[in-house]
Amino acid sequence: MALTACSGDKATEEKYEEVAVEKLYNIAVDSLEQGRYAEASTQFDEVERQHPYSNWATKAQVMAAYSLYQANKYDEAVVALDRFIQLHPSNKDADYAYYLKGLCYYEQISDVGRDQLMTQLALKTLDELTTRFPTSQYARDAKLKIELTYDHLAGKEMDIGRYYQTKGQYLAAINRFDAVVKKYQTTTHTPEALLRLVECYMALGLHEEAKKSAAVLGHNFPGSSWYVDAYALLEDPTIKEPDQKPWYKPW
C-alpha cells in the first residue's frame, strides 16, 4: 500500500509538473502543425492552466479554439470562442475570434432543403464582426460570406415558394417570393422571384399585380431570360418598355 501510494504521488507530481510557458506553447504549436488537432487543443489549454496570467495564456485560448475548429469540433470551438470574447472583448485577437466563430457556423451550412439555423447564426456572427470591427483584415472576407449567406437564405425562400406554387397555394407562394424581392433583393434569386410573382398573380387573375411585377423585372433585369418569360406570359405590349408605366413603383 505504501508503494502504491508513493507511486501515485509520483505520477501526480509528474502530471502536474510545471513547464516553462514558451516551451509548453511551442509543444502545442508543433502538434497543431502536425495535424494532431485534439492533442494541440488540450496542450493549449494546459498553457492557460499552468500560466493563467501570462500573455501566452490569452493567445492559447484562441489557439485552442482554432485547433478544435480544425478538428471539425465546431460546437466546442464556439464555446471556447464565446468564452474568449466574453473575457477579452477588447483584445487584439477579438476580431479573429468573431471571424472564426462565424466560420464554425458558415461551414455547417446545409443545402436549402434543410433547416437554416446555421445560416442564420453565421450571418449574425459575421455581421457582428463587420459592425464591431469594420477595418479588420477579416471584415472583407466576412462581407463576401455575408452575401453568400443572404443568397442561401433567399434560395431557401425560393425553394418553399416553388413548393407552394406547385401545390396551387398561390398566396403562400407569393409571400415567399415577395420576401425574396424585399429582403434579399441583391441576391441572384431576385429575377426568378419576380417571374414567379407574375405567374402566381396571373393564376389568381390579378393581372395588374402581375404587370407591376413584370415591369419591375423588366426595369431591373431587361436582358434576362426571366423577363422574356414574363413578357411572353403576359403578352401585353404595355410592359415592354417598363419606363413608360404610370403605375411603376420600385420596391
pLDDT of residue 241: 41
Of all residues in the chain, what percent carry a pLDDT higher than 70? 86
User: What is the predicted pLDDT for the residue at 114?
Assistant: 67
For residue 210, pLDDT beyond 70: yes
Rounded average pLDDT over 217-229:
89
Cell triple for 159: 425553394
Please tell me the distance from the alpha carbon of residue 200 to that of residue 221, in angstroms, as a whole number.
19
How far is it, in rounded angstroms, from Cα 190 to Cα 158?
A: 9
Residue 94 in contact with residue 88, Cβ under 8 Å? Answer: yes
pLDDT at residue 74, as a whole number: 96
Q: Half-sphere exposure of 142 toward its Cβ, with a 13 Å CA cutoff?
A: 28
Mean pLDDT of 123-146: 96
Q: How far apart are alpha carbons 76 and 44 in whole angstroms? A: 14
Q: State yes or no: pLDDT of 125 exceeds 50.
A: yes
> Shortest CA distance to 118 belongs to which of 153, 68, 157?
153
- Whole-number Å distance between alpha carbons of 88 and 69: 20
Q: Provide the pLDDT for residue 244.
A: 38
Nine-digit cell at 30? 508543433
Residues in the chain: 251
Q: Which domains does the chain have, with CATH numbers?
A: 18-89 (1.25.40.10)
Q: What is the predicted pLDDT for the residue at 11?
A: 47
At 104, the amino acid letter reads: C
* Tens digits of residue pLDDT in 157-182: 999 999 999 999 999 999 999 999 99
Cell of 223: 436582358
**How many whole angstroms separate alpha carbon 236 and alpha carbon 238?**
6
- Model pTM greater than 0.95? no
Tell me the helices (H) and strands (E) count for the chain, helix number first.
12, 0
Residue 8: its pLDDT value, please? Answer: 52
For 2-20, the pLDDT digits (tens) are 444 444 554 444 455 777 8
Residue-averaged pLDDT of the chain: 86
Range in 91-95, 140-144, 225-229 the model is least confident about: 225-229
Asked whether the beta carbons of 201 and 209 are under 8 A apart, the reply is yes
Which pLDDT score, from 0 to 100, does residue 249 have? Answer: 38
Cα–chain-centroid distance for residue 209?
Answer: 34
pLDDT, residue 16, reads: 59
Reported as a single tens digit per residue, the pLDDT across 57-98 is 999 999 999 999 999 999 999 999 999 999 999 999 999 999
What does the block give as the cell for 59? 493567445
Read off the pLDDT of residues 240-249 as tens digits, 9 standing for 90 and up. Answer: 444 434 333 3
* DSSP helix/strand/coil, 138: coil
Give the span between the Cα atoms of 113 and 217, in whole angstroms: 26
